[in-house]
Chains A and B, each alone.
Chain A
Amino acid sequence: GAVVSQHPSWVICKSGTSVKIECRSLDFQATTMFWYRQFPKQSLMLMATSNEGSKATYEQGVEKDKFLINHASLTLSTLTVTSAHPEDSSFYICSATLGLAGANQETQYFGPGTRLLVL
């Protein structure tokens, strides 16, 4: 149980284009999803927290107009990197929780990640 998928697993795009990454919870309903970015040899950096049906909460320094997040259902959140630049090349990872109170429900389950390369 608690499986999270991401699509695509990797993507190469030209500078200036937009890329959409999907994150799905396959066997549970996720009221809260998180988007992370990870550069080589660095730890995960949280970009934003999204709750189903409401606007995402972005971390300081993350441009909300550049990284559009939509969490329209309890099983799907999308991250769109708009007008991508080479410096946006990174490993993007999503996670999901049940969002309820309690330690078990707070556990984050992660997707396999999406590697983005912007040329």
Chain B
Amino acid sequence: DAKTTQPTSMDCAEGRAANLPCNHSTISGNEYVYWYRQIHSQGPQYIIHGLKNNETNEMASLIITEDRKSSTLILPHATLRDTAVYYCIVRDLNAGNNRKLIWGLGTSLAVNP
């Protein structure tokens, strides 16, 4: 699976949009981009995933560049409860039984009042 690069930490004001970037310049055509987050002392939570097109759900929006080498997770109106570590992961769904996710260190997002 392709490696991803994320900033170590970011800050965001409560109520503003939080834009979390992820670089995956070696992504292949079969690899999806997944985003998870982990609030302190809890298990990770699935947020969203995409392949080529931009995606939106009740939690966030995922913007993938046309060349697919980078993406941005957008939390439109960040709240204090969005303070967490956000992980960007790419993986190939055609990798047979190899369903494991490779976790980096993610971006530690602090939402400030």
User: Which residues in A have some Cβ–Cβ distance to B below 8 Å?
Assistant: 2, 4, 6, 32, 34, 42-46, 49, 59, 91, 93, 95, 97, 99, 101-103, 106-113, 115
Give bound CA distance, A59 to B103, whole Å: 14
Give bound CA distance, A46 to B42, whole Å: 16
Q: Which of B36, B87, B99, B105 has the most CB of A within 10 A?
A: B99
Distance to closest chain A CB from B60 (angstroms): 14
Distance to closest chain B CB from A3 (angstroms): 11
Q: Which of A44, A95, A99, A109 has the most CB of B within 10 A?
A: A44
> Do residues A109 and B46 form an inter-chain contact, with CB atoms below 8 A?
yes
From B44, B45, B91, give the contact of A44 (CB < 8 A).
Answer: B44
Q: Do A103 and B93 form a contact, CB below 8 Å, given A49-B99, A108-B101? A: yes
Distance to closest chain B CB from A53 (angstroms): 14
Give bound CA distance, A42 to B104, whole Å: 9
Q: How large is the interface on B (under 10, 10 to 19, 20 to 34, 35 or more residues)?
A: 20 to 34
* Interchain residue pairs with CB less than 8 A apart (11): A43-B104, A43-B105, A49-B100, A91-B41, A95-B44, A103-B32, A103-B93, A106-B32, A108-B44, A112-B43, A113-B42
Say whether B24 faces chain A, with CB atoms less than 8 Å apart.
no
Q: Do A43 and B44 form a contact, CB below 8 Å, given A32-B99, A49-B100? A: no
> Do residues B43 and A111 form an inter-chain contact, with CB atoms below 8 A?
yes
> Do residues A110 and B43 form an inter-chain contact, with CB atoms below 8 A?
yes
User: Which residues in B have some Cβ–Cβ distance to A below 8 Å?
Assistant: 32, 34, 36, 38, 41-46, 49, 51, 87, 91, 93, 99-101, 103-106
A-B pairs, 5 with minimum CB distance:
A110-B43, A43-B103, A44-B103, A113-B43, A110-B44
Residue of chain A at shortest CB distance from B101:
A108
Distance to closest chain B CB from A74 (angstroms): 16
> Do residues B99 and A106 form an inter-chain contact, with CB atoms below 8 A?
yes
Give bound CA distance, A34 to B104, whole Å: 17
Give bound CA distance, A49 to B96, whole Å: 13
